[in-house]
Amino acid sequence: MSTLKDICSGLPLDPLPPNRGRDTSVPHAPIRTPNLTAEEERLALRNALRYFPPSHHETLAPEFAQELRQYGHIYMYRFCPTLRMRAYPIDQYPCRTRQAASLMLMIMNNLDPAVAQFPQELVTYGGNGQVFSNWAQFLLVMHYLSQMTEEQTLVMYSGHPMGLFPSLPSSPRAIITNGMVIPNYSSREQYEKMFALGVSMYGQMTAGSYCYIGPQGIVHGTMLTVLNAGRRYLGSGDLRGRVFVTSGLGGMSGAQAKAAVIAGCVGVIAEVDEAPLRKRHDQGWLMEVTSSMEHCIKRIREAKNSKTALSLGYHGNVVDLWERLALEYERTGELLVDLGSDQTSLHNPYNGGYYPVQLSFRQANQLMSTDSNRFCGMVQESLRRHIKAINKLSDAGMFFWDYGNAFLLEAKRAGADVDKFGGGATEFRYPSYVQHIMGDIFSLGFGPFRWVCTSGDPQDLAVTDDIAAAVLEEIGASVSDRIRQQYNDNIRWIREAGKHKMVVGSQARILYSDQKGRVCIALAINKAIAEGRVSAPVVISRDHHDVSGTDSPFRETSNVYDGSAFCADMAVQNFVGDAFRGATWVSLHNGGGVGWGEVINGGFGLLLDGSAEAAKRANIMLNWDVSNGVARRCWSGNSNAYETIQRTMEEHRLLRVTMPFPVQDDQVLDRALQG
């Protein structure tokens, strides 16, 4: 399996490839502890063997059983291709339609070792964000896509390719669902069992929908969050000399270092695992690394006083860092941190998403698999210490926010002091970044729009950057001041994006744009492809973390206060609506940034090939993709969304949205309820 043709030929059975086991040169996922019964182990093994004819069961059964017991899951390492995983130029994929080739390119980008967190376990980011459950699924999907015509749709059930089914040329080429579990059984414990059985999968947000573009995908959103946090909490978008402390340098959180420097502040990011820390430093995303607490504090003071933009990676536990910062304040009265947050994978707190301060990284990984109950207790104790230090610094004047990674949710479950007096179900002592910073931006229709140049040519990316900047400048000249600030932030971003060397994997770009901007950029890029100014098709998508894509009461919809924050109609409608309006593929997931059972999100990919048909699809689908969420947010009472959807209805005569009538006098409610 050393060529694209090989990996598109189906499962290699005659002969079987050699079993090389795990590659020690790449990071590996923590050992899972699904706690299967003897009968469940038999079922997991039976389920894995059904991908292969009985003549191979005698050979494969013992090694699959060993994987299950040694790693907590059957990954089928024997079938991991020797071909370097990366986004090859689209014309190199053996296929019958470029729509299928675009899916193949995006899948392989998700598994590129430069992009993926644990490539051999098919984990793209977040500790457990799977592309597939095992390597047999990958090989079958690549084979199906190589054979697909434009009258077929690939149906994906939680990583498993159910097969190619007849459909229409106007239909999506792939329909993807991940983790669609009956609600009463959508618990973390049930998930570990179902994943071990090979029947369900956690696709994170963009891993299992093949839309991840590396940490660049969150750099821009993180930069906007830090900039707008400065505006809200510090009264200024000028962050020179301001210190932002956080943790995590993995798949998504690895963006924090680059975003801090672009925003102009001093970013200090703690990371317990040396591998991602060194990876971000080698990639140029992280300027400095230290394992010395003394040196870390010294560099914070130096950069703060000189107002020098800096990204400093502290190799150690963030709890130690927070406690030392609190101690420095107690000793000297000097508050060394202005802004704080956390991006460890607390949607997955007991299986490698969070490392307790009481243990070393090695000790934690060992205890995680040998005594899971004791490990859970230590995580909760660590979270209580974590919050105690943050509370001290917050009382002194630091501004802290939850980054939507279930940090405060898990801290509360651990008994930490994060309750908000009189707060609702989605409110804590500290706001989420959606509630205070990004929620109103979402309600204006802005969100993370993305594109991937399938040629793999950096020149194509440079051309699309210029196209996007020109489009935003033209639109931004005639919008309100509030919206113009968002346009200006994004114009600044896209004009400087090439300088910051953010491409990891595919030649991709992200920017935040509203409905009009997304449509106009897509149509302008499609035109450039038709005219030959861009040499090959372009895939457009977005993070599910957007105005419409996700129903997540502790993140994306945490600023929805009409009681519907826990409802998932929006994400499901988004998935269905994108499908029949022209998306090349669509996805619907249980789980995302805040964890299994806590969120439903929907995503899409759409291929622009320069055709009039592609332009038509982009126009109608992107308009719906944004308006769906703005309308829902308007109905919940958000004033930004109300104004945005009114303006959109004026521009689109076929759009008619039910508008809410607000209660203007609360005494009407009081009198009615008092009888």
Q: What is the pLDDT of residues 576-614, one digit of tens each?
A: 999 999 999 999 999 887 888 999 999 999 999 999 999
pLDDT tens, 374-419? 999 999 999 999 999 999 999 999 999 998 788 999 999 999 999 9
Task: Identify the residue whose tokens are 């392989």.
Answer: 108
Helix, strand, or coil (residue 255) = helix
Stretch (H or E) spanning 467 = helix 458-476
Question: Residues 660-671: what's their mean pLDDT?
Answer: 94
pTM of the model: 0.89
Domain positions in the chain are 4-197, 215-433, 446-584+597-651
Q: What is the pLDDT of residue 270?
A: 97
Whether 278 has a pLDDT exceeding 80, the answer reads: yes
- CB within 8 Å of 651: residues ≥ 6 apart: 516
Whether 299 has a pLDDT exceeding 70, the answer reads: yes
Q: Does 453 or 424 have the greater pLDDT score?
A: 453
Rounded to a whole number of angstroms, the distance between the first and last alpha carbons of the chain is 76
Q: Which fold has domain 4-197?
A: Urocanase fold (3.40.1770)
Other CB atoms within 10 A of residue 652 CB: 12
Q: What is the pLDDT of residue 293?
A: 98
Backbone angles phi, psi at 45, to 5 degrees: -70, -45
Whether 251 has a pLDDT exceeding 70, the answer reads: no
- CB within 8 Å of 191: residues ≥ 6 apart: 179, 181, 200, 202, 591, 596, 597
- CB within 8 Å of 363: residues ≥ 6 apart: none
- CB within 8 Å of 229: residues ≥ 6 apart: 339, 399, 401, 433, 436, 437
Q: Would you say the CATH fold of 215-433 matches that of 4-197?
A: no
Q: What is the pLDDT of residue 347?
A: 82
CA separation for the pair 281, 292 (Å, rounded): 16
Whether 632 has a pLDDT exceeding 80, the answer reads: yes
Is the Cα dihedral 517, 260, 429, 333 positive or negative?
Answer: negative
The token pair at 478 is: 């005639």
SS3 content of the chain, % helix, strand, coil (to 5): 45, 15, 40
Binned at pLDDT 50, 70 and 90, residue 351 comes out as confident
Longest dimension (CA), the chain: 81
In CATH, the architecture of 215-433 is 3-Layer(aba) Sandwich (3.40)
- CB within 8 Å of 575: residues ≥ 6 apart: 586, 587, 588, 602, 603
249 near 238, Cβ under 8 Å? no
Sheet arrangement for strand 266-271: 288-290, 310-315, 266-271, 243-247, 339-340, 399-400
Q: Which of 296, 299, 236, 297 is nearest to 263 (CA)?
A: 236
Residue 475: C-alpha distances to residues 271, 449, 516 (Å): 41, 16, 8
- CB within 8 Å of 176: residues ≥ 6 apart: 156, 203, 208, 209, 210, 585, 586, 587, 588
- CB within 8 Å of 645: residues ≥ 6 apart: 627, 630, 631, 634, 657, 659
Q: Which of 416, 388, 422, 121 is nearest to 251 (CA)?
A: 121
Helix, strand, or coil (residue 152) = strand
Whether 254 has a pLDDT exceeding 80, the answer reads: no
Q: What is the pLDDT of residue 133?
A: 97
Q: What is the pLDDT of residue 157?
A: 98
Binned at pLDDT 50, 70 and 90, residue 492 comes out as confident
Whether 283 has a pLDDT exceeding 90, the answer reads: no
Q: Does 203 or 481 have the greater pLDDT score?
A: 203
Question: Residues 224-241: what's their mean pLDDT?
Answer: 92
Strands (E), 98-151: 123-125, 129-130
Q: What is the pLDDT of residue 513?
A: 94
Buried b (16+ CB within 10 A) or exposed e, 97-124: bbbbbbbbbbbbbbbbbebbbbbbbbbb
Q: State the CATH class of domain 446-584+597-651.
A: alpha beta
Question: Residues 201-220: what's their mean pLDDT?
Answer: 89
Q: Where are the alpha helices (DSSP H) in 565-659?
A: 569-580, 612-635, 639-651
pLDDT tens, 113-168? 999 999 999 999 888 899 999 999 999 999 999 999 999 999 999 999 999 999 99
Q: pLDDT exceeding 90 applies to what percent of the chain?
A: 81
Cα 132 to chain centroid distance, Å, stands at: 16
